[in-house]
Amino acid sequence: MACSRRTKRMFPSSPSLSSAETIANNYDLLTHILLCLPIKSLLKFNCVSKHWLSLISNPHFYRRLNLYDSPCALFVQKWPRSDILEYDFIKLDSAFDPARSRHYKVICTCQYEISEPDYHIAVYSSKTGLWRVTAASFTLDNMDFGFYGGVFWNGAIHWYTDSGPSFCFDVDQEQIREMPMPPIPDDWYRRRVIYFGESGGHLNLIEIYHHAATQFNVCELAKDYSGWFVKYRIELEEVIIAFPEMIKTQFEPTVLNYYAYEIWCIVRGESDENSYMVLHMPAKIIRYNLKGKSFKKLCDFPPDSGATGFHEDAMNFRWGNAYTYIRSLAPV
């Protein structure tokens, strides 16, 4: 009786598969490779395995990425030239530190009655997906004045007011604390803040109270809230010489806003030499080095699209708000 035998063909193991397994099982090597990849790739690789998800979502991996120390772009909200609003913005404040966790919180201040001076604080947690009204509240004694800022620094959201005390909300403790502010000059009835923001773990403030200001200080709040101190001195004379379109020639130099410019953000680098300010002037964006006082043009604004072909100049200077865009692995 004839007997047939099947011959089993043997294939050599795939070198590429062996190499892939070696890399996947080597934590240090895999981490080093993932650190070299762009954010979009890392977000996709979260789905490869539980091991990769655990590695990429680890706060230690976040810290080694070092993505959140400096912004890579700015979102700009420009004020419209007419009373017709194309978009309606709702201001919410975020509390997010990727060095601690990929989860974040959103802070909302609200009034139960618009005629009452009492404000309450609601918190949204990305971990639970729920909103919750906290026991914290504050009161504005003068309803004619507002509060501004909403800057997350040192574990708290910070606001300043036009007049009277400013305050902050400790996100973990859910408590309101008073925040010290420099005194308002005697001949001014309200605070005139030009910039209030955080960068690189520092809270910075710029106030200007004199006319045709070309020189002013950048102040920083001490970590222990003991007070503000002068960190940088800004001198814009050379900038104005290079860009005379900043001058509102139709006004006298005694006018408060004689020069058309606004500060969009301050970026603190690893050293003072690498720290800079982003300055908006008519139809241009300027980068100004805080230590060396050098500057360069980053870009021009093209004329607005449409029939008007509007072009920004000192007379038609359009103010706006700028918000830093920071790359992150968290779904904020």
Residue 231 has pLDDT above 80, yes or no: yes
% of the chain residues with pLDDT over 90: 34
Residue-level pLDDT at 307:
46
pLDDT in tens, 274-314: 999 999 988 889 999 999 999 999 988 765 544 444 556 65
Question: How far is it, in rounded angstroms, from Cα 313 to Cα 303?
Answer: 11
Quote the pLDDT of residue 238: 96
**What's the rounded mean pLDDT across residues 182-205?**
92
**Two tokens at 288?**
């100004």
Question: Is residue 6 predicted with pLDDT exceeding 70?
Answer: no
Which SS3 state, helix, strand or coil, does residue 237 take?
helix
* Segment among 36-45, 132-141, 178-187 with least mean pLDDT: 36-45
Cα 116 to Cα 139: distance, rounded to the nearest angstrom: 9
SS3 assignment, position 262: strand
Segment among 92-106, 223-237, 252-266, 297-311 with least mean pLDDT: 297-311
The amino acid at 115 = S
Greatest CA separation for the chain: 117
Q: What are phi and psi of 246, to 5 degrees?
A: -70, -20
Between 146 and 311, the higher pLDDT residue: 146
- Residue 244, pLDDT > 90, answer yes
Amino acid making up residue 298? L
- The residue with greater pLDDT, 84 or 327, is 327
Q: Which pLDDT does position 306 carry in this prediction? A: 47
How many CB atoms sit inside 10 A of residue 245's CB? 16
Which residues, in sequence order, are bridge partners of residue 267?
276
**Residue 199, SS3 per DSSP:** strand
Range picked from 56-60, 140-144, 297-301 for highest mean pLDDT:
297-301
The token duo for 139 is 């009161």
Closest CA to 31 of 69, 57, 70: 57
Q: How confident is the prediction for the chain on average, in pLDDT?
A: 79
Which residues lie across from 138 on neighbouring strands?
119
What's the distance, Cα to Cα, between the start and end of the chain in Å? 74
On whether the CB atoms of residues 78 and 320 are closer than 8 A, the answer is: yes
Summarize the confidence of residues 309-322 as an average pLDDT: 62
Residue 203 clears pLDDT 90, i.e. is over it: yes
Residue among 190, 192, 188, 237 at smallest CA distance from 213: 237
Contact 290, 232 (CB under 8 A): yes
Cβ atoms 320, 76 nearer than 8 A: yes
